Amino acid sequence: MESSSAYRTHPVQLFPWLSLETGYSVLAQTLFYAVNQVAGPKIIVLDGFVGVRWQNFMACLRDALKDCGQEVRWLSTEPCFRPAREIEQLLTTSLTQDPVFGRLFHGDLQDLWLPEQQARLQTMAEDAHSDRITLVYGLGASLITSKGIHVYIDVPKDLSQQLAGQKEICNVGAREPEAFNLMYKRFYFVDWPMLNRIKRAELARMDFFVDGSELAAPKLVHGDDFRHALHELAQRPFRVKPWFAPGPWGGQWMKEQFGLPTEAPNYAWSFELIAPENGILLGNAEHYFECAFDYLLWAETDAVLGVPIASRYGSYFPIRFDYLDTMGGTNLSCQVHPRVDYIRTEFGEPLTQDETYYIVTCDPDARVFLGLREDTSVQALKADALAARDERIPFEITDHVNAFPSKPHDLFLIPSGTVHCSGANNLVLEISATPYIFTFKIYDYLRSDLSGHLRHVHLDHAFANIDPTRTTDWVEQNLIPQPELLREGAGWAEYRIGDIDQLFFAIHRLEFTDTLEDQTDSKFVALNLVEGDHCEILTPNNEPVELRFAESIIIPASVTSYVLRNTGSSPCKVVKAFVK
């Protein structure tokens, strides 16, 4: 039986009225009924995201539709794609020669198509009749015709990465799987942004949404119900679905405390709240399905983010929470993140990777490495880093980087350009800007990844971004702040713990033994219970929402005020992050 304080890896947002169907038989029956309610040509359009295993999915759907007693004409978008080698050449600017980094692709899926094949398929789709069903399917199917019943099949990004690692899927327009790092790079810089533009356009008009996570049992929800659930969710606190990944420096704390699968050697990262990668679980008392967090941000931008934030960032969720677990692990690589002008010019990202480390727990010997020492120089660090990369000569990062003892509830601020890393035996809650892959490794201890390959360092990028003024004195005065009391009452207090000009977001800590009232100022806030068993979040017109130790939650901008109520046996501490 689950403990009342156990971290929940699959938080389901409940809607008692939500109708959810499962399986190919009910999918076929539902589509058959829906298309026969439409006057004129009978067209069904099945579009989907990267990760849909189209061959298997369509084979199962074909079998299910055989029982419907009506002829079906099947039109695939696959013939529209240019040859794989030609597509690679078209994507050269975005994919680059770098094994990790590319540039965001701003083109459309049609750029990867042969115009004559697209036109041919569109003509065939227009030649639909009322005495048979024309079913257009595949990536970009919704671009072929706007008519008919539209269905979108989504696959969570963590699952698509798992399938890529198992070489069960390909990138968009590719014919064969590649090494995982190359597939992920193409996902991030090309496939996801390109297909998200289609997905966003389909959100308003889709007749049905399908969660394709389980190949044997797809889950179906009506489009109106899906949009209504998103609207309701934007009016109350909610959690996204976290996911977890091992790494060469990973620890054991999350595995033990969160009850994660034991076959992984460790867990280095928790994607606790990283908008581009997380999903949301929506369901009723018996069943749930997963959709991308993106859908909620597109459908309910102002309600979730708040008008002031949306006016700056559009539907982009600008703050992330994630865990770095080195408890029983080792140091992260010595690293730096790009300046905002650099990330925009080189990679096409709107924000840079400003970070903070909040220490949730740690061992007595734990340290955080932050900023250059006064008695070294960028040139000296570069000389050692080059010797390590080129000649495999190890060095001690403490020769160049400050080592500060860490203890629970310490906060270290890491604006871009600051050399840093977490040491071993920390559980770090990263509270940061959303960009998350732009880590320029300076030194990684000549360490191999989990596949046995030496980890790549990016010295050209790194040394183009290190701020030489971020040295010991400046770091101690600016990047290791002490809590500042803002307000207090009987049994509660609010502290400012992280707020400097170099960061667009601020971090406060809310401490309470019973209850604490707070306002959102019509902007979203992100919370994490960093101490205490559990608490409830009370908001107007909503049922209480439970938050357990180490869980993160979003209070949307539509909720103007909330009350935190301690439901555990010990005092609570909640960190709060928000855009200034």
Of all residues in the chain, what percent carry a pLDDT higher than 90? Answer: 96
Specify the CATH class of 24-217 in words.
Answer: alpha beta
Residue pair 133/44 in contact (Cβ under 8 Å)? The answer is yes
Burial of 158 (0-12, 13-18, 19+ CB in 10 A): buried
484-579: CATH topology: Jelly Rolls (2.60.120)
Rounded to a whole number, what is the distance in angstroms from the first to the last CA of the chain?
42
| Residue 21 phi, psi dihedral angles, 5° rounding | -115, 155
Cβ–Cβ under 8 Å, residues 374 and 471? yes
DSSP secondary structure letter of residue 112? G
Structure tokens at 428: 């770090």
Token pair for residue 329? 């692990």
**CATH topology of 243-280+296-478 equal to that of 484-579?**
yes
- CA separation for the pair 334, 356 (Å, rounded): 15
Structure token pair of residue 249: 């420096």
Closest CA to 162 of 49, 254, 48, 245: 245
What is each CA distance from 436 to 59, 192, 432, 524, in whole angstroms?
38, 15, 9, 20
User: Domain spans of the chain?
Assistant: 24-217, 243-280+296-478, 484-579
CA distance 200 to 197: 5
If one counts every other C-beta atom within 10 angstroms of the C-beta of residue 468, the result is 12
Of the pLDDT bands very low, low, confident and very high (cuts 50, 70, 90), residue 510 is very high
CA–CA distances in Å: residue 541 to residues 13, 351, 360, 555: 16, 35, 32, 14
Cα separation, 328 vs 444, whole angstroms: 18
Q: Residue 465 and residue 344: Cα distance in Å, rounded? A: 13
Question: Coil, helix or strand for 380?
Answer: helix
Beta strand 208-211 with 367-372 is unpaired
Q: How confident is the model at residue 67 (pLDDT cuts 50, 70, 90)?
A: confident
Provide the token pair at 315.
Answer: 């539907």
Amino acid identity, position 529: L
Q: Is the pLDDT of residue 100 over 90?
A: yes
The per-residue pLDDT for 502 is 97
CA-CA distance, 138 to 23, in Å (whole number)? 19
Cβ-defined contacts of 222-225 (< 8 Å, 24+):
222/19, 223/150, 225/18, 225/19
Report whether 13 contacts 278 (CB < 8 A).
no
Contact in structure between 432 and 353 (CB atoms under 8 Å): yes
Which token pair is 168? 């069960």
CATH of domain 243-280+296-478: 2.60.120.10
In percent, the amount of the chain with pLDDT more than 70 equals 99
Query: What is the structure's pLDDT at 131?
Result: 82
Calpha distance 303→156 (Å, rounded): 24
What is the C-alpha to C-alpha distance for residues 199 and 202, in angstroms, rounded to an integer? 5
Structure-block tokens of residue 422: 């977490």
* Rounded distance between C-alpha atoms, residue 457 and residue 194, angstroms: 28
User: Which structure tokens are listed for 436?
Assistant: 């998350």
Residue 1 has what pLDDT? 39
Q: Is the pLDDT of residue 2 over 60?
A: no
Indicate if the pLDDT at residue 518 is higher than 80. Answer: yes
Q: What is the token pair recorded at 109?
A: 């899926």
Q: State the Cα–Cα distance between residues 28 and 44, nearest whole angstrom.
A: 11
Q: How far apart are CA 140 and CA 225, in angstroms?
A: 23
Question: Within a 10 A sphere around the Cβ of 327, how many other Cβ atoms?
Answer: 25
What does the alpha-carbon distance between residue 105 and residue 239 come to, in Å, rounded to a whole number?
30
Report the amino acid identity of residue 470.
Answer: R
Both tokens of residue 302?
């102002």
Rounded to an integer, what distance in angstroms lies between the CA atom of residue 468 and that of residue 371? 9
SS3 breakdown of the chain: % helix, strand, coil, rounded to 5? 30, 30, 40
Round to whole Å and give the CA distance between 509 and 325: 21
H helices of 166-300, where?
A: 180-186, 192-203, 223-233, 253-257, 293-299
Which residues contact residue 255 at a Cβ distance below 8 angstroms, ignoring those fewer than 6 apart? 262, 264, 266, 267
Q: Are 495 and 512 in contact (CB under 8 A)?
A: no
CA–CA separation, 160 and 290 (whole Å): 13
Exposed / middle / buried, residue 377 (Cβ in 10 Å: 0-12, 13-18, 19+): middle
pLDDT score of 270 more than 60: yes
Q: Which of 62, 61, 67 is nearest to 24 (CA)?
A: 61
Task: For residue 207, count CB atoms less than 10 angstroms from its CB and return exposed for 0-12, middle for 13-18, buried for 19 or more.
Answer: buried
State the DSSP code for 458.
-
Q: Return the closest-CA partner of residue 245 out of 281, 274, 217, 216.
A: 274
Q: Specify the pLDDT at position 129.
A: 80
For residues 54-83, average pLDDT:
94
pLDDT at 533: 97
Say which residues have a Cβ less than 8 Å from residue 162's Cβ, sequence separation at least 6. Answer: none
Give Rg (Cα) of the chain.
25
pLDDT at 4: 63
Cα-based distances in Å from 46 to 149, 199, 204: 9, 12, 15
Q: How far is CA 379 from CA 246, 293, 468, in A?
A: 33, 43, 10
Q: Is the pLDDT of residue 220 over 50?
A: yes
